[in-house]
Amino acid sequence: MKNSTTLQDLFQQEVDPKAIEKFGKIANWIGAVDSKGKKQRERGISVDDDLFGTVDRRSQKSKYATKQKVVAPKKVSAIPLPSTILAVKKKSTAWKTNVQSKGKFIDIDPKWELLMEFERDNLIELQYSPEEGKTLLSIGTLPKFDGAFDKISIKNPKQLLEEIKTPKIPSVVEDPTMADFISKRKAKIYTTDNILSALMSHCRSTIPFDFKIIRKDDYVIIDAREGSILNFETLLESTAAENLDFGEENYNSPLSLIDEVTKCHHKFSAQVKGLASNDSQINYRLWDFGENVQLLCRTSLDASYESEFKSGPVSTHCLVEIDSRVTKVDFKQKADSQRGAILGSEMLNNPNKLARWLFQSILADAKFLKIGYVSRKLSRDNTKHVILGTETYAVDDFAVQIHMDVYNGWGTVKALADVLLNLPVGEYVMVRTPRKGGLRIYKANEDDK
């Protein structure tokens, strides 16, 4: 198939190291550290939040509406919004206390117009249950998961591959297959699973992220910019890591860690399939939200899994231990007998990563998540790692394990879909604020890249 070859070529491109460096400058969520090991506070956006609010002038109620008291805003958005996303001003001492400053993210141009802001307290109340998604097109074959990795243990570990190409994730506008779907108007909203999963799990994130919104004719493209955090695996999302040395040239620096963990993820996924690169089956899936609103998302399945009691498509991921002094759970001691303790530790240290894995699996229609336990062979060597074991989770069971409300994730997507389709033609930037945990939409200037 013509599009198939072109798309696979795009996925085979290796990540440009400059993109990682650029990402680090924009979204260093671990934060700068001074000579005494204390985190330096980064300057936030000097916007008076009380000046902004939104109001819904429509009389009808949406199916995902929540019971919220409407508070009259001081400034009204020009875009009508569902009543569920009214920016009611609420203060949460606990939330502010738990959120740490995560450093820089995209620079907000003072000339950009803040169109609307959605507060976290309102977004977490949204609920929506969509109809079952359907696959429009599959590209590539589904490799088999090597069952030998189920037998790995602490006493019988396996060396992680040392060399592998880290695939480049094409954006929506770079994807020729997506361009074909857009030309045929198969949907009203076009995006990818790495973006959609970030939106669906935003309530678990302490990391700022952003993406581009392109409103054209009668459709919307939600896309990631080059070097976006959404294309990397994260680590130490909500953990203070004073025990690690974060010098920029050090193996534990923020840039080194994101590079290391992302490569481990791709190495593990390739190795359990017996491949030299992390090839996956690419699926384009469609959801119909009704009222002539459809969402088309590019997703991926990693492998086909078969055992005596379980079988079906899986998504593969790995938890990476950098230093047990930080995670407080030693993989090399607990990976066999106390995996629940490891998962509990990861829920505290990397809650957003786990939630994103869940939603990516749901979007891809995977039946299971296959999670590997990976650790540095030596804590001071970031080039050699060992696989200490694997665990299989049914998708529904994993949602229960990490206490994730799947319908809230869909509620956020449905509400934002209604909002974005009402935007005038143009280009916008959506940002997740690092401190308050809300979402903001800015109107970008025409000459901005």
The answer to whether position 448 is within a domain reads no
* DSSP state letters, 408-421: HHHHHHHHHHHHHT
- DSSP letter string, 323-363: -HHHHSS-HHHHTTT-HHHHHHHHHHH-HHHHHHHHHHHHH
In this prediction, residue 104 carries a pLDDT of 38
Whether the Cβ atoms of residue 187 and residue 181 lie closer than 8 Å to each other = yes
Between CA 361 and CA 365 the distance in angstroms is: 6
Selection from 267, 205, 248 nearest residue 230 by Cα: 205
Orientation of helix 254-271 relative to helix 17-26, angle to 10°? 130
- Name the residue with higher pLDDT: 134 or 248: 134
Q: Is residue 449 domain-resident? A: no
Residue, of 9 and 207, whose pLDDT is higher: 207
Q: Has residue 355 been placed in a domain? A: yes
| Total domain count, the chain | 1
Q: What is the mean pLDDT of the chain?
A: 78
Question: Which residues fall within 8 angstroms of residue 446, CB to CB, at 6 or more apart?
Answer: 426, 427
The answer on pLDDT for 227 being more than 70 is yes
Per-residue pLDDT, 33: 37
> Residue 120: pLDDT above 70?
yes
Q: Of how many residues is the chain composed?
A: 449
Residue-wise pLDDT tens digits, 1-59: 444 445 555 555 555 545 544 444 333 333 333 333 433 333 333 333 333 333 333 33
Vertex 26, ends 427 and 243: CA angle to 5°?
150
Task: Give the angle subtended at the CA of 66 by the CAs of 286 and 89, to the nearest 5°.
Answer: 110
Is residue 385 one of the residues assigned to a domain?
yes
Terminal CA-CA length for the chain: 33
- Helical spans, DSSP H, in 224-303: 254-271
Residue 73 pLDDT exceeds 50: no
Structural domain including 158 reads 2-443
Average pLDDT over residues 252-267: 87
Question: ∠ CA(71), CA(443), CA(30), 5° rounding?
Answer: 85
What is the pLDDT at residue 449?
59
At 82-104, the pLDDT tens digits run: 333 233 223 333 323 333 333 33
Least confident of 37-41, 120-124, 267-271: 37-41
Which pLDDT value is given to residue 230? 86
- Supply 253's token pair: 């620096």
| pLDDT tier for residue 244 given thresholds of 50, 70 and 90 | low
**Range scoring the smallest mean pLDDT among 194-203, 319-328, 329-338:** 319-328
The pLDDT of residue 437 is 79
